[in-house]
Structure 1
Amino acid sequence: MKNHKAFLMIGISVTLALLAVVLASRWISQQGNISTSKVMVAAVDINLGTRISPELIRSVDWPSGSVPKGSFSDAKALDTRVTRVSLLRGEPLVDAKLAQPGASGGLSAVVAEGKRAMTVRVNDVIGVAGFALPGNFVDILVSTQGEKSGTSDKDLNISKLVLERILVLAVAQEASQNETKPKVVSAVTLEVTPEQAEQLDLARSVGQLSLVLRNQIDLKPAQTAGATKQSLLYAQLPAAPAAPVKPVIQRVKLSHKAALITPRIVQDCQQVMTGAGTVTQCF
């Protein structure tokens, strides 16, 4: 009986093993028959603003069910196109990452539609110690002095946030977004709208600019009133204690008639016997 049960268990185990082998081989054969499509990818790392040439791209097999939207299967369709962002080796080329057909290479192809590129002078402090790199977003502060009104001697120095979430296109003459090491430069090129370009030009003419590096995923606008000398130095001072109020005593002169009707004050009196006689004392 025991041998019969042992042979039964061995038979079941062998059957299950054969079934697993059959299923695995079928799955492998199905994976080998997945349909693919040709997709053009970067053969090397490509910097933004680069004109596409045949030696920079190559064709690879890509699963048909996951072909990136806007990708290219023909190298001729990419001839003379210009990249708007940096591409890594093996990354598919899609239309959203390329400038419009006919655009020339260089920084002008990187500027988004409706935007402008504007350069401002910076130093190691204004440029956030060289950490404001292409692809980063910055806020712009201006430190200036307001216009006096009347004869007021009030200090009107103010520091105000004038522009937020401005894209850094290039530092000095470099626009590569692959660099991560800080680099101190003398000029930074920013991507702004025409209205922001006017504000930035006015801000740098009336005061000193400062760049403030911000998180790339932070989209919340800042609501600030600006910092002045008064708000910086005196806003947190405790209020001076109020002076004690002294009671005011008024002397009122009563008329003769009022004095007559004034009630008399009742006093306690007592008589004290002394050697000189009786003395009356009132309290």
Structure 2
Amino acid sequence: MLKGKTPLIIALGLGLLAGIIAWSAIKKKEADVRKGWNLVPVVVATQDIPEGTVITFDMISQRQVPEQFVTSSVVKPDSANYVVGQKVLVALQTGDALLWSQFETTKAAERLSTKVQKKVRAVAIEARNTTSVGGWVRPNDHVDVIGTFRDPQTDENVAVTLLQNVIVLATGKVTGTTNVNLIPENQREYNNITLMVIPEEAEILTLAAELGSLTLSLRNEDDVDMIEERGRATITTLLSGERTRVLEAKRREIIQIIKGNPTEKSAASAP
């Protein structure tokens, strides 16, 4: 028979061994559960945030969480700027993930009139994929407006650039400052585009829309050059090809400037 402290030591040893085995089993189970998880970043609170607080950048950070727990209602880091400056509707604790439902949705129902500069007007025109650069036109883009009409004097179709370098104010219900995460998915696509023009140009657009169809051509935002002497395309110019050849030479010259390196060209052409 075991005497003295030996039984106690053995019992403690067995208990410790059982504890180690249990701890190992738990860790293995956790590892098995975590195995295959893809971690993605989400926006979380870095401090306790009372209800009604206006969010600032120093109140939030990002943390990696399993992708399977991240839904469309969770704020992602690339959308953090949309929640900064907004009030939270509920109190948040440190480490809580931010949800879109926790914020006021006033920006989703913003007033377009507040974005119209003084002495200019907002005018909407119909837009389809074929008339809005395949749907690539976005708020704050710069566009030219091309009108296609039937000439009453010659009774032939004519296309002419009506307005140049016009700023897009909105596409459907989306403006340049709209938080699209607060807009239902079916409302993000658009069938009209709102342009910011002066009152006289608004008259031109209104009449042009009644007489024919309008198409937008997209500009680089840094390209503010205006065509002083605008030509127009007619069936006659298309069939004769004369204007087409002149414009083709001009286009090739412009594209070479964009794609080529003038220094390299000069060096290559030097004797």
- TM-score for the superposition, normalised by structure 2: 0.46
Normalized per residue, which structure has more helix? Answer: 2
